[in-house]
Amino acid sequence: MVNPAKLLKFRKEWGEFETRHPKFVRFIMTIARNGILEGSIIEIKVTAPDGTVTESNMRVSAEDMEMVKGLQE
């Protein structure tokens, strides 16, 4: 069961996150709307304040799609 107080707190925090990072939220919403197809490549890059870069990527497989589909059911 969902805790109403936590839900209200999350809603407020999400609104603040949207204000701080509007381009990122639009990006996530676009991906959620359009979906990710098998064969898509997902790349992630993080640059630390000291300039250290960590990055990785993955090609989405049929097995990945099945796993996500199972979570959505």
pLDDT at 72 over 80: no
Token pair in block for residue 27: 């990006």
Report the run of H or E that residue 26 belongs to, with start and end: helix 22-34
Task: Report the pLDDT value the prediction gives residue 54, as an integer from 0 to 100.
Answer: 99
Is 66's pLDDT higher than 80?
A: yes
Sequence spans of domains, the chain: 1-35, 37-73
The predicted structure's pLDDT at residue 35 = 86
Q: Is 45 helix (H, G, I), strand (E, B) or coil?
A: strand
DSSP-based three-state secondary structure for 52: coil
pLDDT tens, 7-50?
999 999 999 999 999 999 999 999 989 889 999 999 999 999 99
